[in-house]
């Protein structure tokens, strides 16, 4: 059986929605300072984005201390989480800076701020972008085909955005107005009008600063996919204020006033205003859009005929179950159906929550449908059906995490943190398996959040409560070397090799105790033997010695690396040469002696394994990879198969190149991407090996950080290659 390789060519672009049309170098990192800041802070950008979509943050520790005082942690808060939800990306203190690399990011607009110790936030003073509704936020744009409607239009080709000031009974108000490129203040031509409503927690300016509405309208206009129109953006309006606004627009702009040329849409509570305006007074608007509305307006069956006659389009949009509007949208669809009011549904955006990433897509779909005939009335490509409401089990009734259909995970705490101020789940849910902290919300005397969708894979997490780590005591899983961690598994085709095989079909994992002459004590290794292992067969089994990393132990390849599941599946698939795998304790002052004097002799004495170098392999991750390199240098030819995961070779001094090349059938190397902190030293190692003339294999980076997501994929790739040459 063949499997899709997990590694790619060096700096290969990944991501679900990335088109081949992505052009390196079109990434714009924006930045502005709303208030005066010390000039020294702006000498070097705190954020850089590489052409392959990795965001690197470097924050001067001195500036943080100057602004916020002494702090114990700094995170980047932004829309980096699953479904573009807000999440915290922790930075690491390295010398004089707090730094970290996150990616590869999906194309789109990102917003962020820096927060220290949960409560102290600052804006990036080196980034001159701004968000009018939140002075602490900065933004940056990552280009790509899926975000092509969000790029700035070429100078001179876009429309204009102006401000309309008007009076209402409640006082003077203002709206933002986009006019198309061809619009002229005087002339015979009048234009249709679209009113975009904001909602709770959403300002009118957010449509521009976070929604990229100007860019969307400019690009759709340039592509000829929308009819020229005037677009009016305002804060949430009541019926009377909406009437005043429409009059002011008619008095100041050349717009058509009949319902067939009037449209309205809104986000959050603004969506409710939009639908309510169409249902209560159906002679006002011919086109209506509901973007993640949270409150369902009354739908009266007696108005159905009038609504259906006047409203040419009523289209509902919602994100997935992490969107609080998901259930309200379902209820509205049912109410409209019962009342025989015609409507369309864009279905469920599988990767969208209640945020601007989702609403940008809604606007791109909605505006081309206005004031013209369209033949497509179904959901957007890739959207699912709006099947029903999502309601996780009541708090306290189920172990956590609760994993629901399609990879949505609900975390909740016990009541132990009822008095906490800030609770997050820290988990490997960022791109490639990097780590993000997802804020939980208070739910009575517990904290809870639903996160997703997460791709099928193996996940691990811990709770961070007021900056202190805790284990999720409701989750019985454990990690011996990391007592705070808990784990969970999301099944699916992409994670098949990490799942348990049917009972009785897999190999066995046994403990092997031995006396360490290096440590002066008894130590333990874990040993996997394949299904049908026969200690009396004529030919001894090939053997792989598989080492863990620093801060880990012999248990980690089983508890975290899923080595048993991987080996079981590959053996049953016929991809694996029957072998024995020994996972020893590499925490030693002299690993070469520990391996050759203790682990290897004990394995040969207890198991029917070969002593022939051609039937022996050595591999390890991080520290264990460095140990594998150390054995290769000191005892070339002792192991015909050597592999290192996320480790550097070191200097070329004193290396017997001829002995290594003659005695090594395969030297295979792996590393994570730019988020793997050993990436620079690893790449330097390749230069060293090339200079020395040592033969090796490297098929490119494995997307992901210095973590188990990468090393699991490395083992998946390596194991079937052993003992076949």
Distance CA 269, CA 237 (A): 10
Residue 3 lies in a domain: no
CATH code, domain with 115 = 2.60.40.10
Backbone angles phi, psi at 406, to 5 degrees: 70, 20
Distance CA 293, CA 174 (A): 23
26: pLDDT strictly greater than 60:
no
Give, in order, the Cα–Cα distances in Å from 134 to each of 111, 138, 148, 269.
11, 9, 26, 19
Query: In total, how many domains does the chain have?
Result: 4
Distance CA 620, CA 643 (A): 7
Residue 200 lies in a domain: yes
- The separation between CA 257 and the C-alpha centre of its own chain, rounded to angstroms, equals 45
Backbone angles phi, psi at 327, to 5 degrees: -70, -40
- Which contiguous run of DSSP H or E holds residue 247? helix 239-252
> Of the candidates 149, 167, 187, which is a domain's last residue?
149
HSE value, Cβ hemisphere, 13 Å, CA-based, for 242: 24
Provide the H-helix boundaries in 311-461. Answer: 325-338, 356-366
Give, in order, the Cα–Cα distances in Å from 51 to each of 13, 26, 392.
10, 7, 40
Distance CA 122, CA 431 (A): 25
Backbone angles phi, psi at 567, to 5 degrees: -65, -40
CATH code, domain with 534 = 3.40.50.1820
Backbone angles phi, psi at 167, to 5 degrees: -110, 145
Query: Residue 325: which of 362, 300, 288, 299 has the closest Cα?
Result: 362
Q: By the 8 A CB rule, do 290 and 316 touch?
A: yes
Residues 244-266 pLDDT 10s? 999 999 999 999 999 999 999 99
Both tokens of 538, joined, read 């004529």
* pLDDT score, position 156: 87
- In the block, which residue shows the tokens 């975009």? 196
Instruction: Tell me, yes or no, whether 443 and 549 share the same domain.
Output: no
Q: By the 8 A CB rule, do 84 and 101 touch?
A: no
> Of the candidates 496, 528, 556, which is a domain's last residue?
496
Residues 257-307 pLDDT 10s? 999 999 999 999 999 999 998 888 777 899 999 999 989 998 989 889 999
Provide the percentage of residues in the chain whose pLDDT is more than 90: 86
Instruction: Tell me, yes or no, whether 135 and 280 share the same domain.
Output: no
Residues 207-246 pLDDT 10s? 999 999 999 999 999 999 999 999 999 987 677 788 899 9
- Which contiguous run of DSSP H or E holds residue 113? strand 108-116
Instruction: Tell me, yes or no, whether 72 and 48 share the same domain.
Output: yes
Instruction: Tell me, yes or no, whether 530 and 561 share the same domain.
Output: yes
Q: By the 8 A CB rule, do 217 and 231 touch?
A: yes
Instruction: Tell me, yes or no, whether 144 and 177 share the same domain.
Output: no
* pLDDT score, position 300: 87
Residue 397 lies in a domain: no
Instruction: Tell me, yes or no, whether 279 and 194 share the same domain.
Output: yes
The CA-CA-CA angle for residues 343, 344, 350, to 5°, reads 140
CB-count exposure of residue 309 (10 Å: 0-12, 13-18, 19+): exposed
Residue 123 lies in a domain: yes
Residues 84-95 pLDDT 10s? 999 999 999 999
User: What residues contact residue 645 under an 8 Å CB cut-off, 6+ apart?
Assistant: 619, 620, 621, 622, 624, 625, 670, 671, 710, 711, 714, 715
Q: What is the DSSP letter of 302?
A: G
* pLDDT score, position 2: 36
Residues 554-581 pLDDT 10s? 999 999 999 999 999 999 999 999 999 9
Domain that holds residue 583: 500-721
Pairing of strands 409-412, 402-403: antiparallel
Residue 5 lies in a domain: no
Instruction: Tell me, yes or no, whether 124 and 247 share the same domain.
Output: no
Q: By the 8 A CB rule, do 255 and 249 touch?
A: yes
> Of the candidates 351, 369, 387, which is a domain's last residue?
369
667: pLDDT strictly greater than 90:
yes
User: What residues contact residue 238 under an 8 Å CB cut-off, 6+ apart?
Assistant: 273
Instruction: Tell me, yes or no, whether 688 and 625 share the same domain.
Output: yes
Q: By the 8 A CB rule, do 472 and 463 touch?
A: yes
Per-residue pLDDT, averaged over 623-650, amounts to 98
What is the 3-state secondary structure of 461-485? EEEEECCEEECCCCCCCCCCCCCCC
- The separation between CA 611 and the C-alpha centre of its own chain, rounded to angstroms, equals 45
Give DSSP secondary structure letters for 155-183.
TTSS-EEEEEEEEETTEEEEEEEEE-TT-
* pLDDT score, position 417: 97
* pLDDT score, position 398: 81
Q: By the 8 A CB rule, do 514 and 599 touch?
A: yes
Mean pLDDT of the chain: 92
Instruction: Tell me, yes or no, whether 530 and 459 share the same domain.
Output: no
3-state secondary structure (DSSP) of residue 674: coil
Instruction: Tell me, yes or no, whether 165 and 68 share the same domain.
Output: no
Residue 87 lies in a domain: yes
Backbone angles phi, psi at 31, to 5 degrees: -170, 130
Confidence of residue 188 (pLDDT cuts 50, 70, 90): confident
Record the pTM.
0.90
Instruction: Tell me, yes or no, whether 130 and 168 share the same domain.
Output: no
30-34, 132-136, 614-618: least confidently modelled range = 30-34
3-state secondary structure (DSSP) of residue 329: helix
Give, in order, the Cα–Cα distances in Å from 579 to each of 506, 576, 602.
13, 8, 16
Confidence of residue 546 (pLDDT cuts 50, 70, 90): very high
Residue 388 lies in a domain: no
- In the block, which residue shows the tokens 């990102």? 110
Instruction: Tell me, yes or no, whether 546 and 591 share the same domain.
Output: yes
Residue 116 lies in a domain: yes
């Amino acid at each position: 059986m063949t499997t899709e390789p997990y590694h790619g060519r060096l700096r290969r672009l990944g991501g679900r929605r990335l088109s081949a049309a992505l052009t390196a170098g079109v990434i714009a990192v924006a930045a502005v300072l709303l208030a005066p800041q010390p000039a020294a802070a702006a000498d070097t950008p705190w954020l850089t984005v590489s052409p392959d979509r990795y965001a690197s943050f470097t924050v001067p520790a001195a500036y943080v201390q100057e602004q916020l005082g002494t702090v114990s942690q700094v995170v980047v808060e932004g829309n980096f989480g699953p479904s573009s939800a807000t999440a915290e990306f922790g930075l690491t203190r390295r010398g004089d800076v707090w730094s970290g690399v996150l990616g590869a990011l999906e194309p789109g607009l990102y917003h962020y701020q820096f927060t220290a110790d949960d409560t102290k936030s600052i804006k990036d003073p080196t980034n001159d972008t701004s968000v009018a509704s939140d002075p602490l936020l900065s933004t940056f744009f990552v280009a790509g085909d899926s975000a092509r409607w969000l790029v700035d239009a070429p100078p001179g080709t876009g429309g204009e955005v102006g401000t309309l000031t008007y009076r209402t009974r409640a006082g003077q108000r203002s709206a933002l107005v986009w006019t198309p490129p061809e619009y002229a203040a005087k002339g015979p031509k009048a234009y249709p009008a679209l009113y975009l409503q904001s909602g709770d927690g959403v300002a009118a300016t957010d449509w521009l600063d976070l929604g990229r509405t100007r860019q969307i309208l400019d690009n759709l206009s340039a592509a000829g996919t929308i009819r020229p129109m005037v677009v009016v953006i305002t804060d949430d309006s009541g019926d009377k204020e909406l009437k005043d606004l429409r009059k002011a627009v008619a008095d100041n702009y050349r717009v058509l006033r009949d319902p067939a040329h009037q449209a309205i849409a809104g986000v959050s509570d603004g969506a409710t205003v939009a639908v309510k305006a169409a249902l209560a007074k159906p002679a006002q608007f011919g086109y209506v859009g509901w973007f993640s509305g949270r409150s369902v307006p009354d739908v009266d069956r007696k108005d159905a005929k009038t609504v259906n006659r006047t409203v040419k389009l009523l289209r509902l949009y919602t994100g997935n179950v992490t969107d609080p509007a998901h259930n309200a949208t379902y209820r509205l669809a049912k109410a409209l159906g019962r009342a025989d009011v015609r409507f369309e549904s864009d279905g469920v955006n599988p990767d969208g929550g209640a945020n601007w990433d989702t609403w940008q897509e809604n606007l791109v779909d909605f505006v081309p449908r206005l004031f013209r005939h369209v033949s497509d009335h179904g959901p957007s490509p890739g959207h699912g059906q709006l099947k029903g409401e999502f309601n996780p089990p009541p708090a306290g009734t189920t172990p956590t995490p609760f994993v629901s259909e399609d990879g949505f995970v609900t975390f909740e705490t016990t009541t132990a943190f009822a008095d906490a101020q800030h609770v997050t789940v820290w988990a490997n849910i960022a791109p490639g398996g990097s780590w993000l902290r997802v804020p939980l919300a208070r739910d009575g005397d517990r904290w809870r959040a639903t996160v997703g969708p997460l791709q099928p894979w193996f996940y691990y997490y811990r709770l961070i409560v007021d900056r202190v780590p805790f284990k999720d005591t409701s989750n019985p899983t454990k990690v011996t070397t990391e007592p705070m961690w808990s784990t969970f598994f999301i099944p699916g085709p992409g994670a098949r090799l990490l799942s348990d095989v049917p009972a009785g079909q897999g190999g066995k994992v046994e403990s092997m105790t031995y006396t360490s002459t290096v440590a002066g004590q008894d130590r333990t290794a874990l040993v996997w033997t394949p299904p049908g292992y026969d200690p009396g067969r004529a030919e001894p089994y090939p053997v792989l010695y598989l080492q863990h990393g620093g801060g880990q132990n012999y248990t980690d390849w089983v508890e975290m690396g899923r080595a048993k599941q991987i080996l079981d599946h590959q053996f049953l698939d016929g991809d694996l040469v029957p072998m024995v795998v020994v996972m020893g304790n590499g925490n030693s002052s002299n690993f070469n002696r520990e391996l050759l004097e203790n682990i290897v002799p004990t394995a040969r004495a207890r198991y029917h394994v070969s002593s022939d170098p051609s039937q022996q392999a050595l591999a390890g991750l991080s520290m264990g990879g460095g140990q594998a390199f150390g054995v290769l240098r000191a005892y070339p030819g002792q192991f015909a198969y050597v592999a290192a995961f996320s480790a550097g070779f070191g200097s070329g001094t004193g290396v017997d190149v001829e002995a290594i090349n003659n005695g090594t059938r395969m030297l295979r190397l792996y590393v994570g991407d730019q988020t793997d902190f050993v990436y620079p030293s690893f790449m330097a190692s390749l230069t060293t090996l090339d200079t020395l003339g040592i033969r090796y294999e490297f098929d490119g980076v494995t997307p992901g950080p210095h973590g188990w997501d990468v090393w699991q994929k490395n083992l998946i790739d390596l194991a079937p290659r052993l003992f076949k040459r």
